[in-house]
A = this chain, B = another copy of it.
């Protein structure tokens, strides 16, 4: 059970290691949507993504409790960096199982934090097999990218800061995040429920990895009909744990096409002059697609990360 105290404790624990990231607004984008958008810039976070929060909250506890001699995980990107970064802070070795198709810039960053990369085929089976081998060989503890209460509580702290800094006098009507495995979405929906109960939480999901809409409808963890999206951070499906929280606290999931994702990403680059990755543009794409639904509202959006391979841009 992730209570308000769990999240507050997580925030205290990770605070010395993270940035309290800026919240930006943009007049042009507000005019285009007809709403007031507040962008929580986790692309400015340590390791370039919100994942630093969850990774740190888990790894700091593993280290403090002496739960293992090393950390391992599997990740296509930002969580890999987060765990590598967090492990370095506490002086534990990190073994990161990454699909060989992961962007080079993310592999370089993981190595830059001193972690060892174990490359595998880009399937869930291969990734989980790689992690099992690491646990056996090194006595490492798994920090799962999202199916972990500590990770979820850490991710919740991004929306906590957003609400504390900009949602006190006038609460947000909506807060949006993308949904992949559901760690950020779960955490965001919980902390919003605790701190700003009138605020709806909505997720943006790529059409090419649309498992969350299905899972919420059926009530059990479903697979996406097909996986093919530029939003490489959102290809994962939910877990029982994240689905349960999401069904309870998330108002809606809006799906968007890759074309809509790239258009939203380009708008942010051109108008806000900040670098965001495709996965990060999904909630804004959803807001642009469903303008009427957000007209006149106060909308918070967690910009999740900015780790793109500049050699492979979709423009």
A274 within 8 A of B: yes
Contact with B along A288-315 (1 / 0, CB 8 A): 0000000000000000001000110101
Q: State how many residues of chain A have any CB contact under 8 Å with chain B.
A: 18
User: What is the minimal beta-carbon distance from A156 to any residue of chain B, in angstroms?
Assistant: 22
User: What is the minimal beta-carbon distance from A261 to any residue of chain B, in angstroms?
Assistant: 15
Looking at the complex, which one of B22, B43, B48, B266 makes contact with A310 (CB distance below 8 Å)? B266
A286 within 8 A of B: no
Which residue, A269, A272, A273, A315, has most C-beta atoms of chain B within 10 A?
Answer: A273
A136 within 8 A of B: no
CA distance A194 to B12 in the complex (A): 43
Q: Which residues of B contact A43 (CB under 8 A)?
A: 273
A275 within 8 A of B: yes
A105 within 8 A of B: yes
Contact with B along A234-276 (1 / 0, CB 8 A): 0000000000000000000000000000000010011011111
Contact B310 A273 (CB under 8 A): no
- CB nearest to A303 among chain B residues: B273
Contact B313 A48 (CB under 8 A): no
Contact A310 B306 (CB under 8 A): no
Q: Which residues of B contact A315 (CB under 8 A)?
A: 310-311, 313
A146 within 8 A of B: no
Contact B105 A310 (CB under 8 A): no
A172 within 8 A of B: no
CA distance A262 to B276 in the complex (A): 19
Looking at the complex, which one of B274, B311, B313 makes contact with A274 (CB distance below 8 Å)? B274
Q: Which residues of B contact A275 (CB under 8 A)?
A: 269-270, 273-275
A50 within 8 A of B: no
User: What is the minimal beta-carbon distance from A105 to any residue of chain B, in angstroms?
Assistant: 7
Q: Which residues of B contact A22 (CB under 8 A)?
A: 22
A39 within 8 A of B: no
Contact with B along A56-84 (1 / 0, CB 8 A): 00000000000000000000000000000
Q: Which residues of B contact A105 (CB under 8 A)?
A: 270
* Interface residues in chain A, defined as those with a beta carbon under 8 Å from any beta carbon in chain B: 22, 43-44, 48, 105, 266, 269-270, 272-276, 306, 310-311, 313, 315
**Sample of 7 A–B contacts (CB below 8 Å):** A22-B22, A269-B275, A269-B310, A270-B275, A273-B275, A274-B275, A313-B315
Inter-chain pairs besides A44-B272, A269-B275, A310-B313, 15 sampled, C-beta below 8 Å: A22-B22, A43-B273, A48-B273, A105-B270, A269-B310, A270-B310, A273-B275, A273-B276, A273-B306, A274-B274, A274-B275, A310-B315, A311-B315, A313-B313, A313-B315
